[in-house]
Amino acid sequence: MTVRQLTIGCFALLAAVLPYLGLLPGWTPALATITAFAALSLIGLNLIFGVTGMLALGQAAFVALPGYLAGIMHVSGVPAIVAIPLGIASAVLIARLVAEIFIRLPGIYFAIGTLGLAFVVEGLARAFPSITGGASGLMLEPPVAMQADGWYILAVVSVALGTASFAWLVRGRFLRTLKLVRHDELAAQVLGINVARVKAQAFTIGSTYSAVGGILLAYYVRVLAPESGGVNASLEALAMVVIGGSGSVFGPLLGAAAIHWLFAVAGGAERFELLVYGLGFFLVVLYAPAGIVGALRLGWAIGEAQLGQRGAGTPAPAAAPPMTARDAAAVRAASAREGTCLELENVSKHFGGLRAVQDVSFTVRFGQIVALIGPNGAGKSTLFNVISGIEMPTQGRILLQGADIGELPIHRRAASIGRSFQVPRLVPDLTPIDNVVARLDHLPGDAREIDGQRVARAQLEAFGLSALADRPVNQIGLGYHKLIELVRASAGQPPLLLLDEPAVGLTADEVTQLADLLRLLKSQGAAILVVEHNVGFVETVADEIVVMDSGRLIAQGTPQAVMTNPEVRDAYLGALT
Amino acid sequence: MNLFTQSVISGLMTGALYTLLGIGLVLVYRTARILNLAHGESFAITGVVAALLVGYGVPLPVSIAVAMLVAVAFATSLHRFVLRPRSEWPAGTLILITLGAAFVARGVMILLVGTDPVSFPALFEAPPIRVAGGALPVQGLALVLVGFGVSVAVGLFLAATRSGKQLLATAENPYAAELLGVDVERARLIAYGIGGLLSALAGVLLIPLIAVDFQSGLAMTLRGFIAAAIAGMSPVGVLASGLGLGLFEAMVGAYLGALFQDPVMFFVLILVALWQSRKIRFGGGRRA
């Protein structure tokens, strides 16, 4: 246990007994109970919005719904002990449905959809007073009578469990996946992530926290008012998460505590409440996106520096464990690689009247580097997008190891295709290791954390990048991003590599290094298709060159043959000489 | 009174409102590539400021002019001083900032006028026009005429003036427009300005008939978005979708009851989402 964990533990204990010490004016057991239940529900919003970056504007709907549903069921004769879990389950089911409807669309639909739901919940609660109690609220009777201290213990235990389960859940593979989805949905899909499914999962799990926290709070205060499920309550929830520190484990707890205590101390300032929430939210988003947790971290770092508690150094990497089943499978797959990998048959892609790719056919064999060249607008990038599944072909077939993949979604091609982008799309706040492991996470086979770390480290080392392996990507020079992305694309040895202008922006030395790396990957049996403008580089590494112009394939063959082809010189190289 | 005629009349007024809201939302969305969640606040701000000033005894025309000015200033300064300096931030964060601005605006409005709805006198104090068993307030007629007239004017501005064409080019593709020498930032500022102005106009004409409270803004953003989404984010299409949405909502209000308007709007949004999803053939997300 580190000093830091010990400190957090001590503070947690102190916080738990604080209401009974009377050290903090206004911080009574009743307020602390409310705060803890509210924080439990905010953990869900923190997962959805803070970690995954989904703009859930109506989360209060899922806080109030389970209480309303349970209360209404109870009134109609269902015992509370059954109605409460049913209420939670129904609210989670509704969350799941909302996710299914809005999540495949751009994020703004999800934002507006969730906002709309908050309007609906509050509106319905007001519209049917005979069922919901209307504006004066729905009375709730707890199934078991509990004293105030009992409630407080329940609140502390449940928020502790909630926080611990969040910390346990949102780490490793799941955290990497969520960060990828948050940062770059396209890159996430290309790495094999079913983005819609991951977002639906995050929203459903998060809404479960919201529902549990919400129903506990409702039964504690024994009344549920329409506005607790409405837009203002949703905005206030967002504000508390943001102010506490969105995405961090203790953010919801700190945000809820700070705000609840502030308003309790200020007393009778209801008119100012919304403005305080709004300003707090606005200013934190603009100037201190890490919130209270960020400030505490900064304070801790300064304190640590002043105490000179540095120099323990990073722990040495664990010794390499013996070869695993996954390695063995990879070796088998690699040794089975011969013949044709990728085959394009008369592929066309039209955008309206624009024929971006017109009737293109060629093949890439295992252990072969094929370079795709052509002037700007020749259709190279479109063809790449068609192969990786970002665009659908208008006509033609795409065969990968003999199977037609033309109809498969992006993420289902990912296991067989490693792709790099013109502008690298790495997750900036993850290390190269984690970026590479995020790729391994979504390849078929046994995915154990330690294996992934080891394979990623070995691969980075093979590419001469081990010195950079443990720094966040946003602290590493842009020149290395291309190489790191190449490691990520080739990790797990996919049969086909699609590299989009890998040499652009590299120095002459780095280009030489890149050529060596491509030859290494080729010798491991990969089929490599490269789009590249650097003709010198292409001539040195490519076994075959395919030339496109205005969407058509105009020449293909060995570098010497293509470079001396008069049509190619006219269409493409003529512009350079 | 004829219920059908009356709901057509109120539907026309609501439709004009949604059209005015939708056009601004689309222009900003297309040129600046973000959804401005504070869009509807310009509507609410107009009402709150005008009501306050009239309450202080300021003449109505002056109050209205000042209110519109404040609303436009809110929209343009949100862009100029908050969003534009952070244009390289992720789009999600920028949307969050617009939400923050809406949040602050609500906070300020509740502080100024409290939670009760406020209103101010209509510009036109004539008895309502009677048509086919319905009553159309003169103010409402003005709203309808202004709503659709202004929409056409904006269409002409986009199609015929240099600034308008630059705005359209930016909406089509900001990067290409910038390469062609279009002052993209100016185009965006104009888009925010038009957005604020149209919302303010709608506020000036509609609020005397229905009143407004501190939390009207997001409800307006929601409705403007639904109109815009039905139109596929096309500024011309909003003319039709806004009108249709307004008529539909008025019918729901008349025949099912006003309490059903929010749930039915949500249902419309679900239908729009399902309709849009049909175009997305692949597993999830959207291509960059």
| Domain assignment of residue B60, given as a range | 3-277
Cβ of A123 within 8 Å of Cβ of B262? The answer is: yes
Cβ of A199 within 8 Å of Cβ of B110? The answer is: no
In one-letter notation, the amino acid at residue A291 is G
Helices (H), A344-414: 380-388, 410-413
The CATH number of domain A336-575 is 3.90.280.10: no
B217-225 average pLDDT score: 91
Chain position carrying tokens 């509740």: B110
CA A415, A416, A422 angle in degrees (round to 5)? 95
Dihedral, A510, A513, A519, A522 alpha carbons, nearest 10: -70
B191 part of a folded domain = yes
Question: Which residues in chain A show pLDDT less than 50?
Answer: 310-323, 325, 332, 577
B288 part of a folded domain = no
Residue of B262, B270, B274, B279 best to disrupt the A interface, most CBs of A under 10 A: B262
Q: Is B92 on the interface with A (CB under 8 A)?
A: yes
B11 part of a folded domain = yes
B283 part of a folded domain = no
The per-residue pLDDT for A60 is: 95
Domain spans, chain A: 25-230, 336-575
Question: Residues of B with CB below 8 A from A177's CB?
Answer: none
The per-residue pLDDT for A333 is: 55
Q: How far is CA B167 from CA B28, B151, B160, B164, B171, in A?
A: 10, 15, 11, 5, 6
**What is the ipTM score, two decimals?**
0.89
The 3-class SS string of A469-528 reads CCCCHHHCCHHHHHHHHHHHHHCCCCCEEEEECCCCCCCHHHHHHHHHHHHHHHHCCCEE
The per-residue pLDDT for A273 is: 84
The per-residue pLDDT for B54 is: 92
Percentage of the residues of chain B whose pLDDT score is greater than 90: 36
Residue B254, CB half-sphere, CA atoms under 13 Å: how many? 18
Q: How many other C-beta atoms lie within 10 A of the C-beta of residue A188?
A: 28
Dump the DSSP string for chain B: --HHHHHHHHHHHHHHHHHHHHHHHHHHHHHHSS--TTTTHHHHHHHHHHHHHHHTT--HHHHHHHHHHHHHHHHHHIIIIIIGGGTTS-HHHHHHHHHHHHHHHHHHHHHHH-SS-B----S--SPPEEETTEEE-HHHHHHHHHHHHHHHHHHHHHHHSHHHHHHHHHHH-HHHHHHTT--HHHHHHHHHHHHHHHHHHHHHHHHHHH-B-TTHHHHHHHHHHHHHHHTTT-TTHHHHHHHHHHHHHHHHHHHT-GGGHHHHHHHHHHHHHHHHHTT--SSSS---
B29-34 average pLDDT score: 86
What is the domain count for chain B? 1
Residue of A104, A130, A410 best to disrupt the B interface, most CBs of B under 10 A: A104
Q: What is the pLDDT of residues A282-333, one digit of tens each?
A: 999 999 888 899 888 888 888 888 876 544 444 444 444 444 545 555 554 5
B246-269 average pLDDT score: 86
| Residue count (chain B) | 288
In one-letter notation, the amino acid at residue B26 is V
CB-nearest to B266 from A104, A111, A117 is: A117
Q: Do the Cβ atoms of B16 and B143 come closer than 8 Å?
A: yes
Residue A15's φ and ψ, nearest 5 degrees, are -60, -40
Q: How many beta-carbon pairs under 8 angstroms link A with B?
A: 156
Q: What is the pLDDT of residues B93-118, one digit of tens each?
A: 899 999 999 999 999 999 998 888 88
Question: Residues of B with CB below 8 A from A234's CB?
Answer: none
The per-residue pLDDT for A255 is: 93
pTM of the predicted model as reported, rounded to 2 decimal places: 0.88
User: What is the Cα–Cα distance from A401 to A526, expressed in whole angstroms?
Assistant: 12
Q: Is B110 on the interface with A (CB under 8 A)?
A: yes
The per-residue pLDDT for A440 is: 85
B30 part of a folded domain = yes
Chain position carrying tokens 């949102």: A170
